Chains A and B, each alone.
Chain A
Amino acid sequence: MSVFASPDVPGFGSDLPIPWWLLLVKAVAIFVFLVVMTLFAIWWERRVVARMQHRIGPNRVGPFGLLQSLADGVKLALKEDIIPKAADKVVFVLAPIISVTPAFMAFAVIPFGPEVSIFGHRTALQLTDLPVAVLYVLAVASVGIYGIVLAGWSSGSTYPLLGGLRSSAQMISYEVAMGLSFVGVFIYAGSMSTSQIVAAQTQYWYAILLAPSFVIYVVSMVGETNRAPFDLPEAEGELVGGFHTEYSSLKFALFFLAEYINMVTVSALATTLFLGGWHAPFGVTSFWAGANHGWWPIIWFVLKVLIALFVFIWLRGTLPRLRYDQFMRLGWKVLIPSSLGWLLLVATVRAVNAQYNLQSRDVLLYGGAGIVVILLLTFIPDLLATRPSEEPEGEPEWDAMAGGHPVPPMPGQSRPVLTGARASDDDDDLPTEDDT
Protein backbone atom coordinates (compact mmCIF):
# COMPACT_ATOMS: atom_id res chain seq x y z
CA MET A 1 0.00 0.00 0.00
CA SER A 2 1.57 3.22 -1.11
CA VAL A 3 1.37 6.25 1.14
CA PHE A 4 0.56 8.48 -1.78
CA ALA A 5 -2.48 6.56 -2.98
CA SER A 6 -4.00 5.63 0.35
CA PRO A 7 -7.62 4.72 -0.47
CA ASP A 8 -8.95 5.43 3.03
CA VAL A 9 -8.24 9.15 2.87
CA PRO A 10 -11.45 10.71 1.58
CA GLY A 11 -11.15 12.90 -1.45
CA PHE A 12 -7.59 11.93 -2.21
CA GLY A 13 -6.48 10.54 -5.54
CA SER A 14 -9.85 11.29 -7.11
CA ASP A 15 -10.75 14.31 -9.17
CA LEU A 16 -11.25 17.61 -7.35
CA PRO A 17 -13.81 16.40 -4.80
CA ILE A 18 -15.55 19.73 -4.23
CA PRO A 19 -16.71 22.45 -6.63
CA TRP A 20 -14.21 25.27 -7.15
CA TRP A 21 -16.42 27.91 -5.51
CA LEU A 22 -16.62 25.85 -2.34
CA LEU A 23 -12.84 25.50 -2.37
CA LEU A 24 -12.51 29.26 -2.69
CA VAL A 25 -15.00 29.83 0.15
CA LYS A 26 -13.02 27.50 2.40
CA ALA A 27 -9.68 29.08 1.52
CA VAL A 28 -11.01 32.58 2.14
CA ALA A 29 -12.61 31.39 5.39
CA ILE A 30 -9.25 30.09 6.65
CA PHE A 31 -7.56 33.33 5.62
CA VAL A 32 -10.16 35.42 7.45
CA PHE A 33 -10.04 33.09 10.46
CA LEU A 34 -6.27 33.52 10.75
CA VAL A 35 -6.37 37.30 10.39
CA VAL A 36 -9.19 37.61 12.93
CA MET A 37 -7.40 35.24 15.32
CA THR A 38 -4.26 37.37 15.02
CA LEU A 39 -6.12 40.59 15.76
CA PHE A 40 -7.88 38.88 18.66
CA ALA A 41 -4.72 37.25 20.01
CA ILE A 42 -2.84 40.56 20.10
CA TRP A 43 -5.69 42.20 21.98
CA TRP A 44 -6.09 39.21 24.28
CA GLU A 45 -2.38 39.03 25.01
CA ARG A 46 -2.30 42.70 25.96
CA ARG A 47 -5.37 42.36 28.16
CA VAL A 48 -4.21 39.20 29.92
CA VAL A 49 -0.65 40.42 30.49
CA ALA A 50 -2.10 43.70 31.77
CA ARG A 51 -4.27 41.83 34.28
CA MET A 52 -1.25 39.80 35.38
CA GLN A 53 0.60 43.06 36.00
CA HIS A 54 -2.34 44.74 37.80
CA ARG A 55 -3.08 47.05 34.90
CA ILE A 56 -6.20 47.33 32.76
CA GLY A 57 -4.76 47.16 29.26
CA PRO A 58 -6.27 48.58 26.07
CA ASN A 59 -9.93 49.47 26.70
CA ARG A 60 -10.63 52.55 24.57
CA VAL A 61 -11.00 51.44 20.95
CA GLY A 62 -14.26 49.55 20.53
CA PRO A 63 -15.99 47.42 23.17
CA PHE A 64 -13.39 46.28 25.74
CA GLY A 65 -10.74 47.68 23.42
CA LEU A 66 -11.36 44.84 20.96
CA LEU A 67 -10.56 46.99 17.93
CA GLN A 68 -7.20 48.08 19.35
CA SER A 69 -5.10 45.82 17.12
CA LEU A 70 -7.08 46.89 14.04
CA ALA A 71 -6.40 50.53 14.94
CA ASP A 72 -2.71 49.68 15.39
CA GLY A 73 -2.68 48.08 11.95
CA VAL A 74 -4.18 51.18 10.35
CA LYS A 75 -1.66 53.32 12.20
CA LEU A 76 1.19 51.17 10.87
CA ALA A 77 -0.16 51.56 7.32
CA LEU A 78 0.04 55.33 7.70
CA LYS A 79 3.70 55.27 8.77
CA GLU A 80 6.62 55.86 6.44
CA ASP A 81 7.92 52.80 4.63
CA ILE A 82 11.69 53.01 5.16
CA ILE A 83 14.19 50.95 3.20
CA PRO A 84 17.62 51.59 4.75
CA LYS A 85 20.51 52.71 2.58
CA ALA A 86 22.62 49.65 3.39
CA ALA A 87 19.80 47.16 2.72
CA ASP A 88 19.68 44.70 -0.14
CA LYS A 89 16.49 46.15 -1.61
CA VAL A 90 15.00 43.13 -3.39
CA VAL A 91 15.57 40.66 -0.57
CA PHE A 92 14.51 43.26 1.99
CA VAL A 93 11.10 43.57 0.33
CA LEU A 94 10.77 39.84 -0.37
CA ALA A 95 11.55 38.70 3.18
CA PRO A 96 8.19 39.65 4.80
CA ILE A 97 6.34 37.96 1.91
CA ILE A 98 8.39 34.78 2.34
CA SER A 99 7.67 34.90 6.05
CA VAL A 100 3.91 35.43 5.95
CA THR A 101 2.81 33.29 2.99
CA PRO A 102 3.89 29.88 4.39
CA ALA A 103 2.41 30.87 7.75
CA PHE A 104 -1.02 31.05 6.08
CA MET A 105 -0.42 27.94 3.98
CA ALA A 106 0.38 25.71 6.94
CA PHE A 107 -3.23 25.95 8.08
CA ALA A 108 -4.59 24.22 4.97
CA VAL A 109 -4.44 20.75 6.53
CA ILE A 110 -5.87 21.55 9.97
CA PRO A 111 -9.32 19.96 10.45
CA PHE A 112 -11.87 22.31 11.97
CA GLY A 113 -14.66 19.76 12.19
CA PRO A 114 -16.33 16.72 10.66
CA GLU A 115 -18.29 16.58 7.41
CA VAL A 116 -21.00 19.21 7.13
CA SER A 117 -23.41 20.27 4.48
CA ILE A 118 -22.68 23.59 2.73
CA PHE A 119 -25.36 24.55 0.17
CA GLY A 120 -26.15 20.90 -0.40
CA HIS A 121 -22.53 19.71 -0.67
CA ARG A 122 -21.17 17.26 1.90
CA THR A 123 -17.65 18.35 2.71
CA ALA A 124 -15.25 18.11 5.63
CA LEU A 125 -14.40 21.30 7.51
CA GLN A 126 -10.82 21.10 6.30
CA LEU A 127 -9.30 22.72 3.26
CA THR A 128 -7.44 19.63 2.10
CA ASP A 129 -6.67 16.23 3.55
CA LEU A 130 -3.15 15.06 2.76
CA PRO A 131 -1.81 11.66 3.85
CA VAL A 132 1.40 13.47 4.85
CA ALA A 133 -0.34 16.44 6.48
CA VAL A 134 1.90 16.82 9.53
CA LEU A 135 5.05 16.51 7.44
CA TYR A 136 3.60 19.20 5.19
CA VAL A 137 3.06 21.55 8.15
CA LEU A 138 6.67 21.04 9.28
CA ALA A 139 7.95 21.63 5.76
CA VAL A 140 5.94 24.80 5.20
CA ALA A 141 6.83 26.15 8.64
CA SER A 142 10.52 25.68 7.77
CA VAL A 143 10.13 27.86 4.69
CA GLY A 144 9.05 30.67 7.02
CA ILE A 145 12.51 30.55 8.61
CA TYR A 146 13.95 31.71 5.29
CA GLY A 147 11.91 34.89 5.61
CA ILE A 148 13.44 35.61 9.00
CA VAL A 149 17.05 34.86 8.14
CA LEU A 150 16.80 36.80 4.87
CA ALA A 151 15.22 39.75 6.67
CA GLY A 152 18.10 39.79 9.12
CA TRP A 153 20.75 39.45 6.45
CA SER A 154 19.31 41.93 3.96
CA SER A 155 18.91 44.74 6.49
CA GLY A 156 22.64 45.49 6.29
CA SER A 157 22.77 46.17 10.00
CA THR A 158 24.31 44.37 12.95
CA TYR A 159 21.33 43.84 15.24
CA PRO A 160 19.03 42.36 12.59
CA LEU A 161 21.83 40.08 11.35
CA LEU A 162 22.43 38.63 14.80
CA GLY A 163 18.71 38.48 15.54
CA GLY A 164 17.98 36.66 12.32
CA LEU A 165 20.76 34.14 12.89
CA ARG A 166 19.69 33.50 16.46
CA SER A 167 16.12 33.13 15.36
CA SER A 168 16.89 30.59 12.66
CA ALA A 169 19.31 28.62 14.87
CA GLN A 170 16.64 28.53 17.56
CA MET A 171 13.88 27.44 15.22
CA ILE A 172 15.86 24.63 13.64
CA SER A 173 17.07 23.42 17.05
CA TYR A 174 13.56 23.16 18.41
CA GLU A 175 12.17 21.76 15.21
CA VAL A 176 14.15 18.56 15.88
CA ALA A 177 12.56 18.12 19.30
CA MET A 178 9.17 18.99 17.82
CA GLY A 179 9.55 16.47 15.01
CA LEU A 180 10.59 13.74 17.45
CA SER A 181 7.59 14.42 19.69
CA PHE A 182 5.24 13.64 16.79
CA VAL A 183 6.61 10.14 16.23
CA GLY A 184 4.74 8.69 19.21
CA VAL A 185 1.49 10.09 17.84
CA PHE A 186 2.15 8.53 14.43
CA ILE A 187 2.88 5.16 16.03
CA TYR A 188 -0.46 5.25 17.81
CA ALA A 189 -2.57 6.71 15.02
CA GLY A 190 -0.83 4.77 12.26
CA SER A 191 -1.12 7.78 10.01
CA MET A 192 0.27 11.24 9.34
CA SER A 193 -3.07 12.56 8.11
CA THR A 194 -4.49 15.13 10.52
CA SER A 195 -8.08 13.95 10.00
CA GLN A 196 -7.16 10.35 10.82
CA ILE A 197 -5.16 11.38 13.87
CA VAL A 198 -8.23 13.26 15.12
CA ALA A 199 -10.41 10.24 14.35
CA ALA A 200 -8.02 8.02 16.33
CA GLN A 201 -8.52 10.18 19.41
CA THR A 202 -12.20 9.52 20.03
CA GLN A 203 -11.40 7.49 23.15
CA TYR A 204 -8.20 8.90 24.60
CA TRP A 205 -6.47 12.14 23.84
CA TYR A 206 -2.82 11.65 23.04
CA ALA A 207 -1.97 14.37 25.54
CA ILE A 208 -2.92 11.84 28.24
CA LEU A 209 -1.71 8.68 26.54
CA LEU A 210 1.58 10.23 25.43
CA ALA A 211 2.00 12.85 28.15
CA PRO A 212 5.82 13.20 27.81
CA SER A 213 5.48 13.74 24.05
CA PHE A 214 2.93 16.44 24.76
CA VAL A 215 5.19 18.18 27.29
CA ILE A 216 8.11 18.09 24.83
CA TYR A 217 5.84 19.44 22.08
CA VAL A 218 4.58 22.31 24.26
CA VAL A 219 8.13 23.36 25.18
CA SER A 220 9.34 23.14 21.59
CA MET A 221 6.32 24.94 20.18
CA VAL A 222 7.15 27.93 22.37
CA GLY A 223 10.76 27.77 21.19
CA GLU A 224 9.66 27.34 17.58
CA THR A 225 7.54 30.48 17.59
CA ASN A 226 10.19 32.61 19.33
CA ARG A 227 7.89 33.44 22.21
CA ALA A 228 8.75 34.28 25.81
CA PRO A 229 10.59 32.80 27.68
CA PHE A 230 12.40 31.81 24.48
CA ASP A 231 12.11 35.18 22.72
CA LEU A 232 15.89 35.58 22.42
CA PRO A 233 15.84 36.84 18.83
CA GLU A 234 13.87 39.83 20.04
CA ALA A 235 15.72 40.29 23.31
CA GLU A 236 15.19 44.04 23.61
CA GLY A 237 18.08 44.49 26.01
CA GLU A 238 20.57 42.92 23.62
CA LEU A 239 19.30 43.15 20.06
CA VAL A 240 16.82 46.08 19.98
CA GLY A 241 14.11 44.31 17.98
CA GLY A 242 15.95 41.36 16.44
CA PHE A 243 15.53 40.61 12.76
CA HIS A 244 12.84 43.23 12.17
CA THR A 245 14.74 46.18 13.66
CA GLU A 246 15.01 47.93 10.28
CA TYR A 247 11.45 47.22 9.17
CA SER A 248 8.67 49.75 9.39
CA SER A 249 5.13 50.32 8.18
CA LEU A 250 3.18 47.35 6.82
CA LYS A 251 6.33 45.29 6.25
CA PHE A 252 6.77 45.20 10.01
CA ALA A 253 3.08 44.41 10.36
CA LEU A 254 3.53 41.39 8.09
CA PHE A 255 6.24 39.96 10.36
CA PHE A 256 3.99 40.54 13.34
CA LEU A 257 1.15 38.81 11.51
CA ALA A 258 3.40 35.87 10.63
CA GLU A 259 4.49 35.46 14.26
CA TYR A 260 0.93 35.39 15.55
CA ILE A 261 -0.30 33.10 12.77
CA ASN A 262 2.53 30.72 13.65
CA MET A 263 1.33 30.80 17.24
CA VAL A 264 -2.19 29.93 16.12
CA THR A 265 -0.83 27.19 13.84
CA VAL A 266 1.25 25.45 16.52
CA SER A 267 -1.70 25.75 18.91
CA ALA A 268 -3.97 24.19 16.29
CA LEU A 269 -1.40 21.46 15.75
CA ALA A 270 -1.27 20.81 19.49
CA THR A 271 -5.07 20.62 19.47
CA THR A 272 -5.15 18.27 16.50
CA LEU A 273 -2.35 15.92 17.49
CA PHE A 274 -2.66 15.84 21.27
CA LEU A 275 -5.92 17.40 22.47
CA GLY A 276 -8.43 15.40 20.46
CA GLY A 277 -8.83 17.87 17.61
CA TRP A 278 -12.41 19.02 17.14
CA HIS A 279 -13.82 16.35 19.48
CA ALA A 280 -15.80 17.66 22.42
CA PRO A 281 -14.04 17.42 25.80
CA PHE A 282 -14.71 14.33 27.90
CA GLY A 283 -18.13 14.20 29.46
CA VAL A 284 -19.83 16.64 27.10
CA THR A 285 -21.09 13.84 24.84
CA SER A 286 -22.69 12.06 27.80
CA PHE A 287 -25.37 14.73 28.17
CA TRP A 288 -25.27 16.19 24.66
CA ALA A 289 -25.08 13.52 21.98
CA GLY A 290 -24.86 16.00 19.11
CA ALA A 291 -21.73 17.74 20.39
CA ASN A 292 -19.51 16.01 17.84
CA HIS A 293 -21.76 16.52 14.82
CA GLY A 294 -22.52 19.28 12.38
CA TRP A 295 -21.01 22.70 12.97
CA TRP A 296 -20.61 22.42 16.76
CA PRO A 297 -17.06 20.93 16.70
CA ILE A 298 -15.75 24.31 15.49
CA ILE A 299 -16.55 25.60 18.97
CA TRP A 300 -14.45 22.91 20.64
CA PHE A 301 -11.63 23.43 18.17
CA VAL A 302 -11.50 27.20 18.64
CA LEU A 303 -11.86 26.81 22.39
CA LYS A 304 -8.86 24.46 22.56
CA VAL A 305 -6.79 26.75 20.34
CA LEU A 306 -7.66 29.71 22.57
CA ILE A 307 -6.62 27.77 25.67
CA ALA A 308 -3.28 26.94 24.03
CA LEU A 309 -2.87 30.63 23.12
CA PHE A 310 -3.63 31.52 26.71
CA VAL A 311 -0.79 29.24 27.80
CA PHE A 312 1.53 31.23 25.51
CA ILE A 313 0.41 34.48 27.12
CA TRP A 314 0.58 32.99 30.59
CA LEU A 315 4.19 31.91 30.02
CA ARG A 316 5.06 35.37 28.77
CA GLY A 317 3.50 36.96 31.84
CA THR A 318 5.28 34.59 34.23
CA LEU A 319 8.74 33.55 33.11
CA PRO A 320 11.90 35.60 32.56
CA ARG A 321 13.86 35.17 29.36
CA LEU A 322 16.49 32.44 29.18
CA ARG A 323 20.13 33.05 28.33
CA TYR A 324 21.12 31.83 24.88
CA ASP A 325 23.45 29.05 26.05
CA GLN A 326 20.83 27.81 28.53
CA PHE A 327 18.29 27.81 25.77
CA MET A 328 20.43 25.81 23.36
CA ARG A 329 21.38 23.41 26.15
CA LEU A 330 17.72 22.77 26.90
CA GLY A 331 17.01 22.05 23.26
CA TRP A 332 19.97 19.86 22.37
CA LYS A 333 20.85 18.20 25.66
CA VAL A 334 17.47 17.75 27.35
CA LEU A 335 14.61 17.76 24.85
CA ILE A 336 16.21 15.68 22.09
CA PRO A 337 17.60 12.82 24.24
CA SER A 338 14.47 12.66 26.37
CA SER A 339 12.17 12.53 23.35
CA LEU A 340 14.35 9.83 21.76
CA GLY A 341 14.29 7.82 24.99
CA TRP A 342 10.53 8.19 25.33
CA LEU A 343 10.05 7.25 21.70
CA LEU A 344 12.04 4.04 22.12
CA LEU A 345 10.04 3.21 25.24
CA VAL A 346 6.71 3.73 23.48
CA ALA A 347 7.84 1.70 20.49
CA THR A 348 9.16 -1.17 22.62
CA VAL A 349 6.08 -1.41 24.82
CA ARG A 350 3.75 -1.22 21.87
CA ALA A 351 5.65 -3.80 19.83
CA VAL A 352 5.78 -6.18 22.79
CA ASN A 353 2.07 -5.62 23.44
CA ALA A 354 1.19 -6.35 19.85
CA GLN A 355 3.36 -9.46 19.87
CA TYR A 356 1.93 -10.91 23.07
CA ASN A 357 -1.54 -9.28 23.05
CA LEU A 358 -1.27 -7.39 26.31
CA GLN A 359 -3.79 -4.67 25.52
CA SER A 360 -5.39 -3.80 28.84
CA ARG A 361 -2.81 -2.18 31.07
CA ASP A 362 -0.78 -0.24 28.55
CA VAL A 363 -2.19 3.16 29.47
CA LEU A 364 -1.08 2.67 33.05
CA LEU A 365 2.24 1.19 32.00
CA TYR A 366 3.06 4.05 29.64
CA GLY A 367 2.05 6.72 32.11
CA GLY A 368 4.10 5.34 35.00
CA ALA A 369 7.14 4.40 32.95
CA GLY A 370 7.10 7.72 31.13
CA ILE A 371 7.09 9.71 34.34
CA VAL A 372 9.96 7.60 35.71
CA VAL A 373 11.99 8.05 32.52
CA ILE A 374 11.44 11.80 32.44
CA LEU A 375 12.45 12.06 36.09
CA LEU A 376 15.57 9.99 35.50
CA LEU A 377 16.49 12.04 32.44
CA THR A 378 16.34 15.25 34.41
CA PHE A 379 19.24 13.93 36.49
CA ILE A 380 21.52 13.52 33.48
CA PRO A 381 22.43 17.21 33.05
CA ASP A 382 23.02 17.46 36.80
CA LEU A 383 25.30 14.44 36.85
CA LEU A 384 27.33 15.68 33.90
CA ALA A 385 27.67 19.24 35.08
CA THR A 386 30.77 20.00 37.06
CA ARG A 387 29.50 21.95 40.01
CA PRO A 388 31.57 24.58 41.65
CA SER A 389 32.21 23.39 45.21
CA GLU A 390 29.95 25.19 47.66
CA GLU A 391 32.65 26.15 50.18
CA PRO A 392 35.93 27.43 48.86
CA GLU A 393 38.71 25.54 50.57
CA GLY A 394 40.35 27.72 53.14
CA GLU A 395 40.29 31.47 53.19
CA PRO A 396 41.46 32.88 49.87
CA GLU A 397 44.32 35.29 50.19
CA TRP A 398 42.89 38.77 49.84
CA ASP A 399 44.80 40.90 47.43
CA ALA A 400 44.09 44.58 47.80
CA MET A 401 45.45 45.35 44.34
CA ALA A 402 43.56 42.57 42.48
CA GLY A 403 41.34 44.95 40.54
CA GLY A 404 44.22 47.18 39.46
CA HIS A 405 43.59 49.72 42.20
CA PRO A 406 43.52 49.33 45.99
CA VAL A 407 40.18 48.33 47.52
CA PRO A 408 39.17 47.83 51.16
CA PRO A 409 38.23 44.27 52.27
CA MET A 410 34.65 43.05 52.01
CA PRO A 411 32.87 41.78 55.14
CA GLY A 412 34.29 38.35 55.87
CA GLN A 413 37.58 39.02 54.17
CA SER A 414 40.52 39.71 56.36
CA ARG A 415 43.56 41.68 55.52
CA PRO A 416 46.79 39.77 55.48
CA VAL A 417 49.10 40.64 58.29
CA LEU A 418 51.49 43.12 56.90
CA THR A 419 55.09 42.86 57.74
CA GLY A 420 57.21 45.92 58.29
CA ALA A 421 57.57 48.67 60.86
CA ARG A 422 54.54 50.82 59.87
CA ALA A 423 52.05 47.99 59.40
CA SER A 424 50.68 48.04 62.94
CA ASP A 425 50.11 51.75 63.42
CA ASP A 426 48.63 53.06 60.14
CA ASP A 427 45.71 50.67 59.61
CA ASP A 428 43.56 51.77 62.58
CA ASP A 429 41.18 53.67 60.28
CA LEU A 430 40.04 50.51 58.44
CA PRO A 431 38.15 48.30 60.89
CA THR A 432 38.29 44.59 60.05
CA GLU A 433 36.86 41.57 61.78
CA ASP A 434 40.11 41.17 63.62
CA ASP A 435 39.54 44.52 65.36
CA THR A 436 36.21 43.67 66.97
Chain B
Amino acid sequence: MTAYVPIIVLGAIALGFAMFSIVAGALTGPRRYNRAKLDAYECGIEPTPQPVGGGRFPVKYYLTAMLFIIFDIEIVFLYPWAVYFDSLRIFGLVEMVLFIATLLVVYAYVWRRGGLDWD
Protein backbone atom coordinates (compact mmCIF):
# COMPACT_ATOMS: atom_id res chain seq x y z
CA MET B 1 0.00 0.00 0.00
CA THR B 2 3.04 2.31 0.15
CA ALA B 3 2.35 3.42 -3.41
CA TYR B 4 -0.75 5.17 -2.08
CA VAL B 5 1.11 7.21 0.56
CA PRO B 6 2.15 9.95 -1.93
CA ILE B 7 -1.48 10.27 -3.04
CA ILE B 8 -2.57 10.82 0.55
CA VAL B 9 0.19 13.43 0.99
CA LEU B 10 -0.90 15.29 -2.14
CA GLY B 11 -4.54 15.01 -1.05
CA ALA B 12 -3.67 16.43 2.37
CA ILE B 13 -1.90 19.41 0.77
CA ALA B 14 -4.90 20.04 -1.50
CA LEU B 15 -7.37 19.65 1.38
CA GLY B 16 -5.33 22.01 3.54
CA PHE B 17 -5.23 24.57 0.76
CA ALA B 18 -9.00 24.30 0.15
CA MET B 19 -9.85 24.67 3.84
CA PHE B 20 -7.39 27.54 4.23
CA SER B 21 -9.03 29.29 1.26
CA ILE B 22 -12.51 28.90 2.72
CA VAL B 23 -11.45 30.24 6.11
CA ALA B 24 -9.43 33.03 4.52
CA GLY B 25 -12.32 34.01 2.28
CA ALA B 26 -14.58 34.36 5.30
CA LEU B 27 -12.00 36.49 7.15
CA THR B 28 -10.66 38.80 4.45
CA GLY B 29 -13.97 39.78 2.88
CA PRO B 30 -16.22 42.53 4.20
CA ARG B 31 -19.48 41.70 5.95
CA ARG B 32 -22.33 44.08 5.18
CA TYR B 33 -25.83 42.86 5.98
CA ASN B 34 -28.47 43.17 3.29
CA ARG B 35 -31.64 41.09 3.29
CA ALA B 36 -31.85 40.85 -0.51
CA LYS B 37 -28.23 39.67 -0.73
CA LEU B 38 -29.02 36.53 1.25
CA ASP B 39 -31.99 35.57 -0.92
CA ALA B 40 -31.67 33.02 -3.70
CA TYR B 41 -30.64 34.65 -6.97
CA GLU B 42 -33.45 34.83 -9.50
CA CYS B 43 -32.41 37.65 -11.81
CA GLY B 44 -33.62 40.36 -9.45
CA ILE B 45 -37.20 39.24 -8.84
CA GLU B 46 -38.50 37.99 -5.50
CA PRO B 47 -37.35 34.34 -5.26
CA THR B 48 -39.98 31.67 -5.79
CA PRO B 49 -40.58 29.70 -2.59
CA GLN B 50 -38.95 26.28 -2.83
CA PRO B 51 -40.80 23.14 -1.82
CA VAL B 52 -39.52 21.40 1.30
CA GLY B 53 -36.54 19.17 0.53
CA GLY B 54 -35.29 21.07 -2.50
CA GLY B 55 -36.58 21.75 -5.96
CA ARG B 56 -38.08 19.19 -8.28
CA PHE B 57 -36.26 18.09 -11.41
CA PRO B 58 -36.94 15.85 -14.43
CA VAL B 59 -36.96 12.11 -13.83
CA LYS B 60 -34.74 11.74 -16.91
CA TYR B 61 -31.70 12.40 -14.75
CA TYR B 62 -32.34 9.16 -12.83
CA LEU B 63 -32.54 7.24 -16.11
CA THR B 64 -29.22 8.72 -17.24
CA ALA B 65 -27.66 7.74 -13.92
CA MET B 66 -28.89 4.14 -14.24
CA LEU B 67 -27.66 3.86 -17.82
CA PHE B 68 -24.34 5.23 -16.66
CA ILE B 69 -24.06 2.48 -14.06
CA ILE B 70 -24.74 -0.22 -16.69
CA PHE B 71 -22.05 1.08 -19.01
CA ASP B 72 -19.59 1.88 -16.26
CA ILE B 73 -19.77 -1.71 -15.05
CA GLU B 74 -19.20 -2.82 -18.63
CA ILE B 75 -16.06 -0.68 -18.67
CA VAL B 76 -14.91 -2.17 -15.38
CA PHE B 77 -15.09 -5.61 -17.00
CA LEU B 78 -13.39 -4.41 -20.18
CA TYR B 79 -10.27 -3.03 -18.47
CA PRO B 80 -8.80 -6.24 -17.02
CA TRP B 81 -9.56 -8.03 -20.28
CA ALA B 82 -7.76 -5.28 -22.22
CA VAL B 83 -4.69 -5.44 -19.96
CA TYR B 84 -4.38 -9.23 -20.32
CA PHE B 85 -5.49 -9.25 -23.92
CA ASP B 86 -2.29 -10.73 -25.33
CA SER B 87 -2.40 -13.75 -23.05
CA LEU B 88 -6.13 -14.39 -23.49
CA ARG B 89 -6.08 -14.09 -27.29
CA ILE B 90 -9.02 -15.49 -29.27
CA PHE B 91 -10.68 -17.09 -26.24
CA GLY B 92 -10.86 -13.77 -24.40
CA LEU B 93 -12.02 -12.03 -27.54
CA VAL B 94 -14.94 -14.42 -28.09
CA GLU B 95 -15.96 -14.15 -24.45
CA MET B 96 -15.87 -10.37 -24.59
CA VAL B 97 -17.78 -10.21 -27.88
CA LEU B 98 -20.54 -12.30 -26.29
CA PHE B 99 -20.59 -9.98 -23.28
CA ILE B 100 -20.71 -6.82 -25.40
CA ALA B 101 -23.40 -8.37 -27.64
CA THR B 102 -25.56 -9.04 -24.58
CA LEU B 103 -25.19 -5.43 -23.54
CA LEU B 104 -25.90 -4.25 -27.06
CA VAL B 105 -29.31 -5.93 -26.85
CA VAL B 106 -30.02 -3.82 -23.77
CA TYR B 107 -28.65 -0.78 -25.52
CA ALA B 108 -30.83 -1.35 -28.59
CA TYR B 109 -33.88 -1.86 -26.37
CA VAL B 110 -33.25 1.37 -24.47
CA TRP B 111 -32.68 3.24 -27.71
CA ARG B 112 -35.87 1.80 -29.26
CA ARG B 113 -37.95 2.70 -26.21
CA GLY B 114 -36.66 6.27 -26.30
CA GLY B 115 -34.52 6.01 -23.17
CA LEU B 116 -31.69 7.85 -24.88
CA ASP B 117 -33.86 10.69 -26.17
CA TRP B 118 -33.88 13.95 -24.31
CA ASP B 119 -37.09 15.65 -25.38
Contact = CB atoms under 8 A, between A and B. Distances in A.
A180 B9 contact: no
A337 to B, nearest CB: 8
A96 B54 contact: no
A341 B77 CA distance: 17
Given A128-B4, A155-B40, A104 B78 contact: no
B22 A96 contact: yes
Interface residues of B, number: 68
A253 B15 CA distance: 15
Contact of A27 (B10, B26, B37): B10
Contact of A105 (B7, B29, B67, B72): B7
Interface stretch (A49-57, A327-335, A399-407): A327-335
A350 B7 contact: no
B48 A97 contact: no
Contacts of A96: 18, 22
Interface in B24-83: 24-26, 28-32, 37-43, 47-48, 50, 54-55, 57, 61, 64-65, 67-68, 71-72, 75, 78-80, 82-83
B109 interface: no
Given A31-B13, A128-B7, A325-B117, A97 B79 contact: no
Contact of A249 (B13, B29, B71, B82): B29
Interface stretch (A74-82, A113-121, A267-275, A360-368): A74-82
A217 interface: no
Nearest to B7: A108
B90 A329 contact: no
A246 to B, nearest CB: 6
Contact of A104 (B14, B22, B100): B14
B82 A332 contact: no
A84 B28 contact: no
Main SS of the interface on chain B?
helix
B21 A254 contact: yes
Contact of A333 (B2, B37, B40, B111): B111
Interface residues of A, number: 93
A101 B19 CA distance: 10
B80 to A, nearest CB: 7
B116 A176 contact: no
Contacts, number: 220
B38 A84 contact: yes
Contacts of B79: 135, 182-183, 186, 192
B105 interface: no
Interface of B: 2-7, 9-11, 13-15, 17-19, 21-22, 24-26, 28-32, 37-43, 47-48, 50, 54-55, 57, 61, 64-65, 67-68, 71-72, 75, 78-80, 82-86, 89-90, 92-93, 96-97, 100, 104, 107, 111, 116-119
Interface of A: 3, 11-17, 23-24, 26-28, 30-31, 76-86, 93, 96-97, 100-101, 103-105, 107-108, 127-130, 135-136, 153, 155-159, 161-162, 165, 168-169, 172-173, 175-176, 179-180, 182-184, 186-187, 190-192, 240, 245-246, 249-251, 253-254, 324-325, 328-329, 332-333, 336-337, 340, 343-344, 347-348, 350-352, 354-355
